[in-house]
Chain A
Amino acid sequence: AQKVTQAQTEISVVEKEDVTLDCVYETRDTTYYLFWYKQPPSGELVFLIRRNSFDEQNEISGRYSWNFQKSTSSFNFTITASQVVDSAVYFCAQRRAGTASKLTFGTGTRLQVTL
């Protein structure tokens, strides 16, 4: 069975601080995919990134970066120079390889960025 753990329930930072959201996953699969989604107060789920299990290269997209470490089963997400607009709930998710397989979500981390 797959499991995704986001131990941080809520994080508060002041604007311009860097913040890292942790994600630890469990799977017996050798091939799988990892995701991050953002859920702003309006409620929709916004896709941020997908990683394949065989690609451990870290990725940077603007102020966002992701650190995938297979050895520790972690897929952490860092926001550099946070902004108020980053305030949202962030979900880490996993799915096994296979065309119709479901996403298993973590419980989410609520990020509050204040001025």
Chain B
Amino acid sequence: EPEVTQTPSHQVTQMGQEVILRCVPISNHLYFYWYRQILGQKVEFLVSFYNNEISEKSEIFDDQFSVERPDGSNFTLKIRSTKLEDSAMYFCASSDSTWGQYFGPGTRLTVT
């Protein structure tokens, strides 16, 4: 069964560094999403992406964040200058239409 994959599974970075989180959505899906989950808290929407542009973004998704689909398969989330409060699990999801969003296994980001 096709699945969403994410790399790396765990990323440790120092405050102020740039990180890129990578996702490979399900191949025939057209809608892509990033969510994050701070430890012990709920899953929060960051951004949705369709047709090579952002469809919607939350207040969390400020100028430090950007998303890109650099080729036909990858979908990336970049955090330009990480802060301690960016430490969280980041989930990528993809969808083909109106049905459910399928989530990747997540990347745990630790900012020290």
Chain A residues with CB under 8 Å of chain B are 33, 35, 37, 43-45, 47, 50, 91, 93, 97-108
Cβ-defined partner of B42 (8 Å) among A44, A47, A101, A107? A107
Number of A-B contacts (CB under 8 A): 58
Cβ-defined partner of A45 (8 Å) among B41, B45, B91, B95? B91
**SS class, residues of chain A in contact with chain B:** loop
CA gap between A39 and B103 in the complex, in Å: 11
Known contacts A44-B106, A100-B56: A105-B44 contact under CB 8 Å = yes
Q: How far is the CB of A9 from chain B (nearest CB, A)?
A: 11
Instruction: Check A45–B99 contact: CB distance below 8 A.
Output: no
For residue B108, which residues in chain A have a CB less than 8 angstroms away from its CB? Answer: 43
Instruction: Check A102–B48 contact: CB distance below 8 A.
Output: yes
Q: How far is the CB of A34 from chain B (nearest CB, A)?
A: 10
Cβ-defined partner of A102 (8 Å) among B33, B41, B99, B106? B33
Does B100 interact with chain A (Cβ within 8 Å)? yes
Q: How far is the CB of B4 from chain A (nearest CB, A)?
A: 10
